[in-house]
Amino acid sequence: MKRKMWLTMSVLAFLIAGYSIVQYIVLDAKQAGFVQLKLMLSATLNSFWFIMLYIHIILGVLALVIGPFTLSSKLRENNVKRHRILGKIYCASILFGGSAGLYLAFNATGGWVTKLGFCVLSIGWLLTMLLALIKIKHRNIQAHQKWMLRNYALTFAAVTLRIWLPLFTILFGGENFQYYYAVIAWLCWVPNLIVIEWYIRRKLGPILVNIY
């Protein structure tokens, strides 16, 4: 990836990862603004929901911070063995974090539009990872790297979600959360995919270095 794009993405990923760890792990998740809003809207949150939330947050954060290192061609070429290890951890994080995210999507606030948005995101997150694994298994390095870029664009929804949420809250107020959250459920990932697809088609050269 281009250095400036990689640095910007990495800084944002680490900032959001740190924020999520403090909010949900260091502090009480029940006191998090997102959870409080759900409770205010009369949502029923049982212990299993919180277990799925913790799995999704912890593994999502892990994928978010590992991703930039797996995408860096310089780091990849310097140590292929490390790249493979990080890649396996990244994929495992998405497998379990994405599965937990799918459960949470079915219980999302904001009606069927919100649920559908997050369900498609979770399925896309799992599917792009699977396609990237299939391509690398067949030694198609170029296709593997492209699918990993698409996959991380979906991982990066964790960042864009937390950019849109405060902006919409400032503009429309917390009392309208369930209405604009339906928009954010799509806005947090669809533009990401559009941007990365443009990057793949316009910026990447026709030949990517085979690092194996």
Using CA atoms, how far residue 22 sits from 7, 16, 43, 61, 206, in Å, is 23, 10, 23, 12, 42
**Phi and psi torsions of 5, nearest 5°:** -65, -45
Rounded Cα distance between 109 and 97, Å, is: 19
The model carries a pTM of 0.86
Residue pair 70/87 in contact (Cβ under 8 Å)? The answer is yes
The distance between the two most distant Cα atoms of the chain, rounded to a whole number of Å, is 53
pLDDT tens readout for residues 82-139: 888 999 999 999 999 999 999 999 888 878 899 999 999 999 999 999 999 999 999 8
